[in-house]
Amino acid sequence: DGKDLPEKWTFDLQKLAPVGPVLVKNDSLWLACRNGTVLVLNADTGKEVRRIELSQSLSLGLRVVNDATVAIAVDGAVYRIETDRE
């Protein structure tokens, strides 16, 4: 259940509301937020590596379709997210 695991790091979301699953790509964690922000965090340190601001609120967060990472907006729009650069 994870309750006995030691805390490695924390990240202050500053009122951002995560939506959908966290994706792990190489040494990064990709986290979508309801307001359209996509955060990329270093998995070892928890430091923010990249921030992407989309023009729409997100409803389903990030998903991987074939080899593409996409963000799903509340109106059904699909945004392809470039995950090759961090």
What band does 5 get if pLDDT is binned at 50, 70 and 90?
confident
The DSSP line for the chain is: --TTSPP------TT--B-SPPEEETTEEEEEBTTSEEEEEETTT--EEEEEE-SS-EEEEEEEETTEEEEEETTS-EEEE--S--
Per-residue confidence (pLDDT) for residue 85, from 0 to 100: 63
pLDDT at residue 2 greater than cutoff 80: no
pLDDT tens profile 7-57: 889 999 999 999 999 999 989 999 999 999 999 999 999 999 999 999 999
pLDDT tens profile 28-42: 999 999 999 999 999
